[in-house]
Chains A and B, each alone.
Chain A
Amino acid sequence: MTPQIVVENLSKTFMIAERDPGAWGAVRGLFHRRYRAVRALDGISFALEPGELVGYIGPNGAGKSTTVKILAGIMVPEGGRCEVLGRVPWDHRIANAREIGVVFGQRTQLWWDLPVIESFDLLRDIYRVPPDQHRRTRDEMVDMFDLGPLLDVPVRQLSLGQRMRCELAASLLHRPAILYLDEPTIGLDATSKLAVRELVRRLNREQGVTVILTTHDMDDIEALCHRVILINKGRILCDGTLGQLRARVSNERWLIVDLVDAEAVIDDPDVRVARRDDGRLCLRFDPERVSAMELISRVAAKHPLRDLYVENPPIEEVIARIYDQEQR
């Protein structure tokens, strides 16, 4: 398969106008501006196959939205190469826009005062979707996203979760091959989050839509993404599966045990006690030195256990450590 999106050595610098403090500084700023260069992207490269679902993550200001803006054709980079579906997006903004869908969690693409259905109709005209094709896609989306009861409600009266379902549907009405999702679960309650995740998963699996997901919610990433691209300060720190990401930091796993005797002390050369919460202990171990099975039987032989389970360190921690390594 040929890649759908190719990004090579992309770079972008912003010039931020600086102003001296105080009234005099404001006056001087009118005549003489000083600029500070901020490197937003510093040689980003990756390629995406059709149908991938990629998590694009990094702290605020890492360059996530700059990348998405360039891929969407609304920003011109200063260096590097980029092709989306064989086109240079910023040279063909309109042709590119017809084949992508974009959802910003914090902004709406619907018309605030209009019922949802009218926003959908306007989008049909904006994207020049033939009426019968529009009807088919719309009905399919209404079905899939369970929008039936919402269609006649003005957008401003929708709850955030309802609105996000409508936003997703709206971004898909012109049947884009690629979907950019920017913080789609931000501010949603737990149930809505699960619903949105499930929808994104189905879109990707059943419709084969390529998805680039930027988010701060690591649960989104763990629930959805096989591949993660981690960036910081305009550079890619890591590009691979979640497993590879973990392996980069350590292979550490956690054994959580509930002891019958809450006061008992575990002393084993292969574990570090990370946390203690009454009788519940979190034991960190390296599976290369000791297997989980062996460790469990060793611990259970000495201490009566009420319950136990093994888990991976949360992805937040893994990422925090990668950033830490980078700082040093």
Chain B
Amino acid sequence: MLDSVRLYLRYVVTSVRSQMQYRASFIMLSFGHFLSTGTEFLGVWALFDRFGSVRGWALPEVAVFYGMVNIAFAISEAAARGFDTFEALIKSGEFDRYLLRPRSTALQVAVREFQIMRIGRLCQGVIALVAGSLAVDVAWTPGRVALLMAAIAGGACLFSGLFVLQATMAFWTTESLEIMNTVTYGGVETAQYPLTLYREWFRHFFTFVIPLACISYFPAQAILGRADVLGSPTWFQWLSPLVGVGFLAVALRVWRFGERHYRSTGS
């Protein structure tokens, strides 16, 4: 395990170094990323500027949601991006090379392409989070800081799990996988807003099926110190980031199953 972490970091260092060979391209891509995610926030801002607040939520609070989700997503986009473009590996037959190495394929695929330029979205998220929490004057206690970190880590795991699931489908078919993007990128957009804005079935979907609410809405309640109108207990708000880790674990089990299927059918 420790050894795998070490290998992961080695891969990351090597990958970053080879991306730094094209320094100008790195700077422009990061900046472009910063701007394109920035326009998303402009949309949020425009909405609240028009209506003041939506169902009791004001802009600074939503900025906290936005920040948490985008930081988590940026991390998983950088760290698990290899899964996002995985079907190309299957199509070209390049995946055989990964199977020939004495390591888990998930580890190798994850680090295939560590995208340092995702730092653009990360900056965006940090700015929104800091600005939002200053505006609502969050009472930062060590516990709340830890919970924030846990929520971000859990979120990164959850999004990575979604990337893994999307990639796993390529073991069966390499056609029309773009539909999965509605869950990953759509999920980010959804989780940027408080859960109470949505209809009940939608809330349930994002709590129990794809537990996005567990890494944004519920921990944010505890961090902002609000009483949840949905009635979630406090202990649940504090433990909910663990659901993201569990989701990734399940996704990796499904991945192993898919790999086994692929090796038996070998297309």
Contacts and interface: CB of A to CB of B under 8 A. Distances in A.
Contacts of B100: 72, 74, 97, 100, 102, 109
B96 to A, nearest CB: 6
A125 B102 CA distance: 11
Interface string B230-264: 00000000000000000000000000000010011
Given A74-B96, A74-B263, A75-B266, A122 B14 contact: yes
A111 B18 contact: yes
Interface string A1-39: 000000000001011000000000000000000000000
A122 B108 CA distance: 12
* A: contact size bracket: 20 to 34
B266 A69 contact: yes
B182 interface: no
B97 A109 contact: yes
A126 interface: yes
Contact of A126 (B93, B102, B263): B102
A46 interface: no
B102 A107 contact: no
B7 A125 contact: yes
Contacts of A109: 97, 100
Interface of B is mostly: helix
A112 to B, nearest CB: 9
Interface in A89-119: 90, 93-95, 97-98, 100, 102, 104, 107, 109, 111, 113-114, 118
Nearest to A74: B99
A94 B103 contact: yes
Most buried by B among A69, A74, A93, A128: A74
Contacts of B101: 97, 126-127
B141 interface: no
Contacts of A69: 96, 266
B97 A125 contact: no
Interface string B93-137: 110110111110000000000000000000000000000000000
A203 to B, nearest CB: 18
A122 B21 contact: no
A300 interface: no
Contact of A93 (B10, B21, B99, B264): B99
7 contacts: A14-B265, A76-B263, A98-B102, A125-B7, A126-B7, A127-B101, A128-B102
